[in-house]
Amino acid sequence: MNVLFLAILFYLLYRFVTGFLIPVFRTTRHVRQQFNQMNGQAGGKPPGSPEGATRDASGNPHRDTSHPDTSKVGEYIDFEEVK
CA 17-20-25 angle, 5° bins: 90
Give 24-65 pLDDT, tens digit per residue.
999 999 999 999 999 988 865 555 555 555 565 666 665 555
Q: What is the pLDDT of residue 22?
A: 94
Do residues 62 and 49 touch, judged by C-beta distance below 8 A?
no
Q: Dihedral of the CA atoms 23, 28, 34, 37 (nearest 10)?
A: -130
Q: Residue 75: its pLDDT value, please?
A: 81
